Structure 1
Amino acid sequence: MTEAERSTMVVRLDQGPVEYRLEQRGGPVVVVLHGGHMRASLVLGEEVFAESGYTVLAPSRPGYGRTPLSTGTSVSGFADVTRALCEHLGIAKVAAVVGISGGGPTAATMAARHPDLVERLILQSAVGWLAWPDRSTRIGAHVVFAAATEQATWGAMRGLMRLAPETCLRLLLRDLSTLPVRDVVAALRAQDRATLVALFSRMRSGSGFINDLQPAPDVTTEVGQPTLVIATRKDGAVPFAHAQSLAAVIAHAELVESQADSHFIWFGHDWPTIAETIRTFLTTDPPQPLQSVPQT
């Protein structure tokens, strides 16, 4: 098993099977909801929590990995499934739920629906409730990431990654930055380049990515927890306007602007400073959250 992929478990809850990874470190629990093409066994952006001794719980969202689409298909449904997973694991408090990219709506919805469980919300390069993605991207996604084609799409990517990793990185990062892709790739450190090669070589979309394109009820006005919204203006996948909108509407939100060159804010030169902001945020006593919103 590589550093980019770790072991997971599957539990059958009343709502259906859920794949998850639980890394116990003795500290408070952080729930990480990764974005598109990711599953529980893949690791990205978790070092700040691991290095601070936090226990990380990372479930595979519906349609990814070994969590079937039928388990909490909707954003609100899987927010409730994640609550049930916490109960199954004996987790009574979550220091923060972290929503990365396409996992943003589920993280925010979990915070809104379960304020007695979730103390804080962290959104990183997160999709919000503005229109997303644009029409051409949506059409393209239904072609290359459909159930009948996504395996072949990622198989071709893995083959190209073995034969011409530089070309493949440019191809995959092209839509993740507003900057010229050659400049983005050239600026990557060797370690970050290796991380991306390993990550892209193991990504799959399953039926999850197409499911992510379905609209979800906007809960931003219902989030009462302290919220940290982190994004870069150079993100070509999720426009910075999503972060601005989330920070403007969520009651106790702070917007942190990354200087990263792409959607992958963890590779920006200012990430150590942002990581310190996250650590401070996690150790600041949160105010009492709003009362639970009735579930439907």
Structure 2
Amino acid sequence: MIRTTSDGPDSSRIGTLGAYVVGVTPPPTQYALAGEVSIAYKVVGDGPIDIVLVPGYLGHVELIWDVPSVVHMFERLGTFARVIQYDRRGTGLSDRLPRASTLEERVEDIRAVMQAVGSTSATLVGISEGAPTAILMATTHPDMVDNLVLYGGLARGTWAEDHPWAAPREDLLESSRATAPFLFEGAMAEVMAPSVADIDFARDFYARLQRYSASPSSLQQAFEAFLDIDVRALLPSVSQPTLVVHRRGDRAVNWRAGKYLADHIPGATYKELPGIDHAIYVGDADAVIDEIEHFMTGARRAVEVDRIVTTVMFVDIVGSTRTAAALGDSTWHDLLTAVTSVLRDQLRTHRGTEVKTLGDGLMATFDGPARSIRCAKAMIEATAPLGIELTVGLHTGEVEVTQDDDIAGLAVHLAARIGSAAQAGEILVSRTVRDLVAGSAIDFTDRGDHDFKGIPEPWRVYAVTS
């Protein structure tokens, strides 16, 4: 879940990856000169500590702001630090190169952006392939590095006898050739963010990130350069306090690579977290930020998320009062129990979250509007053999989460009103939902503008037709 600064109905969806953030104004992109190479960077927050986020394989300082969980990460880090994000040379909005950059050149990128913002020393957060760069910076310019945080990092890119958890070079090259045709279709999400790889936005985002970060040939050159990385000899020379954070099920970089870093950097602290995602902003990003904040400030802060953006579903049984009267209380109760069980099964299958039952229906939330539609269709099909017809209303918007995990707000009321306008066996959605699932092969019929009780303006609704 994320916090959002948006007040409107076309906000981003809840979750670790979602649709575009509305109402958030990213800081301006600026440029620092590293020799004759322009390095794009942004500065977030105004805390007393400087953090430099050292990027990995892919990067784009502007595109990344399309992801709500990234915005949330910057917001949290910015409460106790001034955060500097940048695109390393050859990627994103920084100057492109005819070849892959070297680790030494990447260190010069860090020095350039630090000088540009007037930072004399900072904590380096090396993310993924950014870890070796951060390590080289810490050992060659120790006066400029206060602390070192290595997330999802590694010291060597390929297999070695004392590094057996990494894949051999030839295997990685073969895998690269096999996946190359699909990289620009979002295949990278399967490795970087597997927990959300089935979400349309996630695959679309990684497809765009691949395209915007660098050209195909540049990406291949960067990948081959990654295979040559080996900073193991530098680890004993790291003198800064160091935190190593790694997710146990990381599919891109084995957790043993992180453990190796911690075991070979003097005095390093190793924090292993659950999860399968490699991207720092996917999965339980707050758990990672908690560790970083505690390491840097000595304090742990529980993040209170009281407003989120989610897709709200209202499901109702058609003619429930008439059916209950015809069947009698006992039989009706048994049937209602069976229907509720079927609905809950579909919620589990489609990763929905039940908020509460509502007599003859229920309210639920989803971290993706397309998934909520698929769930609604499955619910209607699964309850038909029981002789039950349903109506479903869906809307994506900002809601308030109450202390008892209920939800409230205009988005909840709107979803309920949309559901009440649906006919038997029909799924009605708001225009917001329709817009967010564009490209997902879901078809709609325009049902026109509706004036709903308690809603300040007309809302256009659509019926799902396929």
1:25 maps to 2:46: yes
1:172-211 correspondence runs (5 A): 172-176=188-192, 184-185=195-196, 196-197=202-203, 199-204=205-210, 205-206=213-214, 207-208=218-219, 209-210=222-223, 211=225
1:119-138 Cα distance to aligned partner (Å, 9 max, x none) = 10111111322625543233
Alignment of 1:231 with 2:246, yes or no, is yes
| Residue 242 of structure 1, CA deviation | 0.6
Is the Cα–Cα contact under 8 Å of residues 33 and 112 in structure 2 kept in the other structure?
A: no
Q: Structure 1 residue 36: deviation in Å?
A: 1.6
Counting strand residues as a fraction of each chain, which structure ranks higher? 2
Q: Distance in 2 between matches of 1:216 and 1:5?
A: 39
Give the structure, 1 or 2, with the largest relative contact order (CA under 8 Å, sep 6 or more). 1
Matches within 5 A, 1:280-291: 280-284=294-298
Counterpart of 1:251 in 2: which secondary structure? coil
The residue aligned with 1:260 is: 275
Distance 1:130 1:200, change over 3 A: closer
1:91 alignment partner, SS class: coil
Change (3 A) 1:128 1:199: farther
**Cα distance in structure 1, aligned partners of 2:25 and 2:55:** 14
CA distance in 2, matches of 1:48, 1:23: 8
CA contact (8 A) 1:60 1:67 kept: no
2:121 is the counterpart of 1:87: no
* Larger-Rg structure: 2
- Partners of 1:142 and 1:75 in 2: CA distance: 24
Give 1:214's aligned amino acid. D
The answer for the alignment partner of 1:75 in structure 2 is: 103
In the alignment, which residue of structure 2 is the partner of 1:54? 81
Q: Which residue of 2 aligns with 1:138?
A: 173
How far the C-alpha of 1:97 sits from its partner, in A, is 0.3
Number of residues paired by the alignment?
A: 254
Structure 1 runs not aligned, ≥5 long: 158-170, 285-296
Alpha-carbon separation, structure 2, partners of 1:22 and 1:194: 30
In structure 2, the residue matched to 1:168 is none
TM-score, normalised to structure 2's length?
0.48
Normalising by structure 1, we get a TM-score of 0.72
Q: Describe the SS at the equivalent of 2:58.
A: coil
The DSSP-based 3-state class of the residue aligned with 1:247 is helix
Provide, for residues 257-276 of structure 1, a one-character-per-residue CA deviation record: whole Å limited to 9, x for no partner: 0101222354445x544432
Name the CA shift for 1:5/1:62 in 2 (closer, same or farther; >3 Å). farther
- Map of 2:441 onto structure 1: none
How far is the alpha carbon of 1:64 from its aligned partner? 0.8
Q: Which deviations, in whole Å up to 9, do the C-alpha atoms of 1:55-105 show, x marking residues without a partner?
A: 1111211321123337992112321331133123211121x1001111111
Identity of aligned residues (%): 22
Conserved? CA contact 2:37–2:89, under 8 Å: no
Match of 1:160 in 2: none
2:146 is paired with a residue of what secondary structure?
coil
User: For residues 75 and 11 of structure 1, what CA distance do their matches in structure 2 show?
Assistant: 18
Partner of 2:406: none
* Aligned pairs (5 A) from 1:98-117: 98-117=125-144
Query: C-alpha deviations, 1:203-253, integer Å up to 9, x for none?
Result: 125225334333244321221111111112211111111101100000121
Report the Cα distance in structure 1 between the residues aligned to 2:200 and 2:78, rounded to whole angstroms: 20
Q: 1:143 to 1:201 in 2, by over 3 A?
A: closer
Question: For the structure 1 residues 272 and 90, does the alpha-carbon distance in structure 2 shift closer, same or farther, using more than 3 Å as the test?
Answer: closer
Tell me the alpha carbon deviations over residues 165-222 of structure 1, each in whole angstroms, 9 at most, x when there is no partner: xxxxxx5443358xxx6xx449x9xxxx587456424312522533433324432122
Contact 2:30/2:41, CA 8 A, preserved across alignment: yes
Give per-residue Cα distances to partners, 1:26-54, cap 9 Å, x unaligned. 43210001222223332548437535241
Partners of 1:62 and 1:36 lie apart in 2 by: 11
Measured against aligned partners, the alpha-carbon deviations of 1:6-43 in whole angstroms (never above 9, x if no partner) come to 55223333252212222242432100012222233325
Contact 1:231 1:265 in 2 (8 A): no
